[in-house]
Structure 1
Amino acid sequence: MLLRIVHRTGYEYAGMASHSFNEARMSPRSTLHQAVLHTKVDISPTAWTNTYTDYWGTTVTQFEVHEPHPRMAVTASATVDVQRPEVTGHGLSWEAVRDPEVFDDLSEYLLTSPMVEPPDELKARVEEIAGRSATPGDCAREVVELIHDEMEYVSGSTGVHTRASEAWANRSGVCQDMSNLTIGCLRAVGIPACYVSGYLLPAREPEIGTPYTGESHAWVRWWDGEWVGMDPTNAIQPGGRHVEVARGREYGDVPPLRGIYTGTKSSSMFVEVELTALRA
């Protein structure tokens, strides 16, 4: 599917910000199954910029504003051709996934942090699932179903600093929480898992040329001899409607926009995402 994405975000300050220093991760990745035909990042007010690729392979736009400004806006636009096939994995055994060489290669995707660690009650359920699953892939798919079935998607119910355990306690959250929670559960039983951020065209059968209001989205990948993706929010495998922007261990590695500013006490963030299918 050929998609156009326009992502507008930024901050409105309570007063005048005198300086701001920021990083944007809003440019889609070029991968084997996703070709970026065009990408552009515009910043207002005019800023000093620098672009680099971070440790995880994500394109990062650094920028600094050194003049008084009541508002800072970033608009990222891209045209992406997504031809993502279904990936089922190699059906690795538990012994193969827990091999010391796998740990050496993928240890960053096996270590837990307070942001993704599941509570003891959930961890026990996942360990029971792992104990009766013939393969790690079977376990991972059942864990995704568990999170999808027992968590309710409630927009605005959590924030970027909400821990996975807190979202589970309330049985509600957004895609970030469900992805962090899934990652923590998989790592708890020795399955390497990765956080992916990007966009999802909300219409399953979109009208060509019609803009749809969307938002940033998140899903996961786990290791099964190859990376297998799954979207726990929707209980589907990422396909032609998913556009990948960034990868990392958890949300903290991939925020679309973050930074610091001086000159005023507070700010509020705004976000708008528009996705258009240009070709099926």
Structure 2
Amino acid sequence: MTVDSWRLRIQHKTGFDYAGPASSSYNEARMWPRNDARQAVLDARVEVWPPARTYRYEDYWGTVVTAFDVHAPHDAMTVTATSTVETLPPGDLLDASEGCSWEALTQPESVDRWYELILPTKRTGLDDELSGIAADIKAAHATPHAAALAVCEFVRGEVTYQPGATGVQSDAMHAWQQRKGVCQDISHLTVGMLREMGMPARYVSGYLHPRPSAAIGESVVGQSHAWVEWWVGRWTAFDATNGVPVGERHVVVGRGREYGDVPPLKGVYAGPKSTGQGVEVTITRLR
């Protein structure tokens, strides 16, 4: 059997502009892809301007963090991450009838193991209406996996994907109330409903090549993207925004409870207010 892998080169450039010189800043970048079962990082680097010494470590959730301090006066800061990643198609997908039972998810060993991924967070908390909808979907499906797929379909049907509709500080309820949002909001809402059912679920941050039939060698404007994973005896990944399993077009950078665990760039600085953050992602299919 032939497996059609993709090879993607990703350049992610982001940074901050300031109203005047900042005297110092302390930063963390989460822009380095992971080595996973369905993707292999062939090379990666993170470059910083103004020049700064960087050091790399894995955080609590297993995401690669590039940390750096800038102590020279600077009125702008830029971080550029460049990587080449080999990715695989979705592979062995579970049927809706497969996976563990509802009863298995309530067993102490399961609850204890995944406790942090069952609790709601600031961005994934639900109101009574959504909790009720989650309960109805759970009751209508014999298996957790079938219910999870139904949640993805429900959220995608109710919340319109609209770039710019929300910001990085928005939460699931904001997107639900206005019925529009970005991939981050759709993922938060989906994760929140899965956890309401007692299903361990996590937020995944990464990149998406926008074209299923991408031409080799052509560079396109890509996206920082977010999707979800849920535990039904094994982790299953699904792109709720696009209604597809995670496959060769997706590149994982980090996983956590919500966006706050995996922001591409965060930090603190001493100086005048920030006048904006720029983000530019370019993706090239190499094969």
Task: Give the gaps of 5 or more residues in structure 2.
Answer: 1-5
CA deviation after TM superposition for structure 1 residue 85, in Å? 3.0
User: Would you say the 8 A contact 2:255–2:261 is kept in 1?
Assistant: yes
Q: Does 1:112 align with 2:120?
A: yes
Q: Does 1:82 align with 2:90?
A: no
Q: Give the length in aligned residue pairs.
A: 279
Q: TM (normalized to structure 1)?
A: 0.98
- How many Å separate the matches in 1 of 2:55 and 2:121? 30
Partner of 2:43: 38
CA deviation after TM superposition for structure 1 residue 12, in Å? 0.9
- How many Å separate the matches in 1 of 2:249 and 2:163? 20
Task: Kindly report which structure 2 residues correspond to 1:246-265, keeping only aligned pairs within 5 A, or say none.
Answer: 246-265=254-273
Find the partner of 1:151 among 138, 159, 162: 159
Q: TM (normalized to structure 2)?
A: 0.95
Residues 150-203 of structure 1: CA distance to partner in whole angstroms, max 9, x if unpaired? 111111111111111111000000000000110000000101001100000001
3-state SS, counterpart of residue 144 of structure 1: helix
User: Would you say the 8 A contact 1:87–1:228 is kept in 2?
Assistant: no
CA deviation after TM superposition for structure 1 residue 209, in Å? 0.2
Partner of 2:3: none
Amino acid at match of 1:176: Q
- How many Å separate the matches in 1 of 2:250 and 2:262? 16
Task: Give the gaps of 5 or more residues in structure 1.
Answer: none
- How many Å separate the matches in 2 of 1:264 and 1:129? 49
Residues 185-224 of structure 1: CA distance to partner in whole angstroms, max 9, x if unpaired? 0000101001100000001100000001012000000001
Find the partner of 2:104 among 86, 96, 99: 96
Amino acid at match of 2:101: S
Find the partner of 1:73 among 74, 78, 97: 78
Task: Kindly report which structure 2 residues correspond to 1:106-255, keeping only aligned pairs within 5 A, or say none.
Answer: 106-255=114-263
User: Would you say the 8 A contact 1:44–1:73 is kept in 2?
Assistant: yes
CA deviation after TM superposition for structure 1 residue 87, in Å? 4.2
- How many Å separate the matches in 1 of 2:206 and 2:286? 18
Q: Percent identity?
A: 50
3-state SS, counterpart of residue 159 of structure 1: coil
- How many Å separate the matches in 2 of 1:248 and 1:88? 22
- How many Å separate the matches in 2 of 1:208 and 1:72? 32
Task: Tell me which moved more, 116-125 or 23-32.
Answer: 116-125
User: Would you say the 8 A contact 1:198–1:245 is kept in 2?
Assistant: yes
- How many Å separate the matches in 1 of 2:190 and 2:88? 25
Q: Does 1:27 align with 2:32?
A: yes
- How many Å separate the matches in 2 of 1:83 and 1:75? 25
- How many Å separate the matches in 1 of 2:58 and 2:248? 24
User: Would you say the 8 A contact 1:86–1:237 is kept in 2?
Assistant: no
- How many Å separate the matches in 2 of 1:87 and 1:144? 19
CA deviation after TM superposition for structure 1 residue 265, in Å? 2.3
Q: 1:45 to 1:244 in 2, by over 3 A?
A: same
